[in-house]
């Protein structure tokens, strides 16, 4: 994983694949082997294995999933106390180092714990010349926690189903756990582009305020929040030198950025959301008069959630700083959506947005950022 962009894309693919496995409701004894296979395949590492800590002696590990030639083949192992795996078990902290004398590179040992008292480790082998970066470790820690929580939820759900026979409870709980993966996807994009860090969170905050004002239901607001939180996730495939370029973008650079709604839509298609998250991502740059992209949709062909995100996105893009210009200010942003009311932007959404700002003010929704060098050019993409 020497190329940074290639490494980020691999990790994003891993997030997507783990999501797919969790949504598929795979049984626990099948989930761990498949997660290990996904790590080796998507992250491009030599091996991965996972195991539970022995509850009796506290030192042994029973391996429940493995992938790759470097993974231990024994069913039960006892790592040395001074090894990375031994320290991770004892201290309960992420550890980087050889997990055994046979290890040629570095192992990343990620401990996890379930609410029923069970604990274990996920061990990922990295080549000697490709030690994981801090951001990579942080993302893998989040995925490990997500898998552990999913297993905890599933065990709790088995008991709940047995006691109450309520089939719908599992889906509601699991949809809540998907938020962690969504946040990991958002964080992966934000780490690539420091100038727009927080953009998606601020758009989500404003979208929620608009949605509440126009009376969306609680369930629909939850979906709106998730869609807004990752509406720009497709920009993960745009080179960082274009995203952070000072000055006006060339037409070919703009065209490259403009494919991000389609890319983002493709990235979430395997996640079985209860909301039209893919459509929110795909349509947030569409405009009522058909002048938007990528499909030139008109009027009600654009779902309401996408119309809300569109207004919040434009307003935040103008109000916040960018690498190519200073913030244009809330007043200019409000005037932009007002002038496009009913033509580019949904009239009810624009009215709700203006009322939100009139009542709450800008400081309650946006965080001040350090000003980059100003420029007169701007493109809201």
> What are the φ and ψ backbone dihedral angles of 110, each rounded to 5 degrees?
-115, 105
Inter-helix orientation angle 4-23/168-192, to 10°: 180
Contacting residues for 162 by C-beta, under 8 A, at least 6 apart: none
Contacting residues for 242 by C-beta, under 8 A, at least 6 apart: 249, 253, 256, 257
Buried b (16+ CB within 10 A) or exposed e, 126-161: beeebebeebbbebbbbbbebbbbbbbbbebbeeee
pLDDT score recorded for residue 301: 97
Looking at the domain that runs over 193-360, which CATH code has it been given? 1.10.3210.10
pLDDT score recorded for residue 375: 33
Q: Residues 37-58: pLDDT tens digits? A: 999 998 888 999 999 888 777 6
Contact 216, 225 (CB under 8 A): no
User: What average pLDDT does the segment 129-148 reach?
Assistant: 85
Contact 308, 207 (CB under 8 A): yes
Whether the per-residue pLDDT at 208 is higher than 90: the answer is yes
pLDDT score recorded for residue 180: 67
Contact 365, 209 (CB under 8 A): yes
- In whole angstroms, give the CA distance from residue 143 to residue 123: 13
Whether the per-residue pLDDT at 206 is higher than 90: the answer is yes
pLDDT score recorded for residue 373: 30
pLDDT score recorded for residue 10: 78
Report whether CATH 2.60.40.180 matches the domain 4-175: no
Whether the per-residue pLDDT at 27 is higher than 80: the answer is no
Domains of the chain, by residue range, sit at 4-175, 193-360
pLDDT score recorded for residue 158: 61
* Residue 63 bridge partners (DSSP): 51
pLDDT score recorded for residue 83: 81
- Top pLDDT among 268 and 328 is at 268
Query: Which range has the top average pLDDT, 79-83, 214-218, 340-344?
Result: 340-344
pLDDT score recorded for residue 272: 74
Whether the per-residue pLDDT at 166 is higher than 50: the answer is no
Query: Which range has the top average pLDDT, 89-103, 140-154, 258-272, 291-305?
Result: 291-305
- Top pLDDT among 216 and 326 is at 216
Whether the per-residue pLDDT at 262 is higher than 90: the answer is yes
Q: Residues 286-310: pLDDT tens digits? A: 999 999 999 999 999 999 999 999 9
User: What average pLDDT does the segment 344-351 reach?
Assistant: 97
Whether the per-residue pLDDT at 351 is higher than 70: the answer is yes
């Amino acid at each position: 994983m020497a190329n940074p962009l290639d490494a980020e894309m691999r990790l994003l693919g891993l997030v997507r694949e783990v999501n797919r496995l969790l949504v598929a409701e795979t049984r626990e004894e099948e989930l761990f082997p498949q997660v290990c296979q996904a790590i080796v395949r998507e992250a491009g590492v030599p091996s991965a294995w996972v195991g539970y800590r022995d509850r009796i002696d506290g030192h042994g590990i029973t391996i429940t999933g493995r992938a790759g030639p470097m993974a231990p083949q024994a069913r039960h192992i006892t790592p040395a106390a001074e090894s990375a795996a031994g320290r991770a078990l004892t201290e309960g902290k992420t550890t980087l180092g050889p997990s055994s004398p046979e290890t040629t590179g570095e192992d990343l040992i990620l401990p996890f714990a379930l609410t029923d008292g069970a604990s274990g480790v996920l061990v990922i082998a990295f080549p000697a010349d490709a030690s994981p970066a801090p951001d990579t470790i942080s993302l893998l820690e989040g995925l490990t926690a997500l898998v552990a929580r999913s297993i905890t939820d599933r065990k709790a759900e088995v008991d709940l189903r047995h006691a109450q026979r309520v089939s719908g409870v599992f889906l509601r709980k699991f949809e809540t756990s998907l938020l962690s993966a969504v946040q990991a996807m958002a964080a992966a994009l934000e780490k690539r582009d420091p100038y727009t860090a927080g953009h998606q969170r601020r758009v989500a905050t404003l979208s929620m305020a608009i949605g509440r004002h126009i009376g969306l239901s609680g369930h629909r607001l939850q979906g709106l929040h998730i869609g807004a939180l990752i509406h720009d996730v497709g920009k993960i495939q745009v080179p960082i030198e274009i995203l952070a370029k000072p000055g006006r973008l060339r037409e070919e650079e703009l065209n490259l950025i403009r494919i991000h709604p389609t890319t983002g839509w493709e990235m979430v298609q395997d996640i079985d959301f209860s909301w039209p998250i893919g459509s929110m991502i795909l349509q947030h740059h569409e405009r009522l008069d058909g002048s938007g992209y990528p499909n030139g949709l008109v009027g009600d062909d654009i779902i309401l959630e996408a119309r809300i995100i569109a207004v919040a996105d434009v307003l935040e893009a103008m109000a916040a700083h960018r690498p190519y210009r200073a913030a244009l200010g809330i007043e200019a942003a409000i005037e932009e959506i007002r002038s496009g009311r009913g033509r580019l932007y949904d009239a009810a959404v624009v009215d709700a947005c203006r009322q939100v700002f009139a009542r709450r003010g800008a400081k309650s929704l946006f965080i001040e950022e350090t000003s980059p060098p100003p420029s007169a050019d701007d493109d809201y993409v």
